[in-house]
Structures are given as structure tokens and as C-alpha cells.
Amino acid sequence: MAKSQDNSFCPVPWCSTKAPHKDDADVKALLETAQIPGELARWATNALTELRDSIERDSAERQIFALITRSRQVEELYSRAVYILLLATDDELPHMLSGRMPNGFSFHYDRVNESIFGGRGILEKDSKAMEMLHHGAHVSFWDAEYGRFRDNQRVARLQRPLETYQQNVL
């Protein structure tokens, strides 16, 4: 069945929900949490802190494959949190909290970059860094090669995007 751009239950184009997101008990609970000032920001901060600590441990131990597979989560969670906290309309919020597609990285990053980062988002400028994040999120063989050959020149090719990433995100 082809997806329709319009959905009477949700204002987000291409959403395939068959009922209002607010009818879902988990979305309801998240919407209640979102009403507590600062609570979603605290959740995001705690999660980002755990990711940062884990990535720093992997970096120190040269666990390159593990580091790459989680690197997009930092950018994606930060961008999603900024979008939800500062840009999402009341109508969009239930969709964002539902996790239903479209809800991926590119869905909110472009808008956050334009509206909040003033177009200075490093992922728009450094395609190698964005490529690394996407590959890592999909645990491709490209990443396995970097993890497997962690001591040879393949890792050296990752040095610049990793440094860019660590300077700007960690």
C-alpha cells in the first residue's frame, strides 16, 4: 500500500499512523513529562553524558568500531532534543515523541541547523563526517573494516573527521 503524504491523524507529511499519536499510552506519558519544565532537557543531557563517556572510553582504548557505531546517536539526540524543545509545534510534538517515521536525523537536523545553528552545522559542511555518522549508525562493512584494521592507514583516513567530530561534539 502506498503511503500518502497527508494523514488526517497527524500534520507531519508521510506519517503512516492509523490513529492519533495522543491515543498511545507511551506518547501520552511522554507528553506529560514534556509539561514538566526542563525534564526532557534533563533526559537528553543525561543520555548525551552517558554517550560522551562511553565514546571517550572507546577512543582511549582504540575501540574504533564501537565508537563509530554510536557516534551518530550523539548528533541525532542533540538535534532531536533541540528541535523538540525549541522548534516543534504543539501539533508536531506528539509525532516527534511517538518515534514514528519520518522522525530520523535529516528530518530535524536541517531545520535545527537553519533555525538554531544559523547554517553553521558542521555536518552540512563536512560530508566525510556525515558519511561516517551514517555508516556507523547502519553498522556497515565500511565500519567493520575500520574496526578490523584499527592500526593501519585506514584508521589514519578517519583521523580528520574524528578530530572534527571530537572538537565540535565531545
Give me the residues that bind Zn ion (CB under 5 A), please.
Answer: 10, 12, 15, 17, 95, 100
CB of 12 vs Zn ion, minimal distance in Å? 5
What is the radius of gyration, based on Cα positions, of the chain? 18
**Amino acid, res. 93:** L
Cβ burial of 50 (10 Å; 0-12, 13-18, 19+) is exposed
Owner of C-alpha cell 536525523 = 105
CB of 95 vs Zn ion, minimal distance in Å? 3
CB of 158 vs Zn ion, minimal distance in Å? 36
Phi and psi at residue 26, to the nearest 5°:
-70, -40
CB of 80 vs Zn ion, minimal distance in Å? 15
Cβ burial of 18 (10 Å; 0-12, 13-18, 19+) is exposed
CB of 148 vs Zn ion, minimal distance in Å? 40
**Closer residue to Zn ion (CB): 30 or 74:** 30
**Closer residue to Zn ion (CB): 17 or 73:** 17
Neighbours of 156 (CB within 10 A): 9
Phi and psi at residue 13, to the nearest 5°:
-55, 140
**Closer residue to Zn ion (CB): 11 or 122:** 11
**Closer residue to Zn ion (CB): 87 or 122:** 87
**Closer residue to Zn ion (CB): 54 or 103:** 103
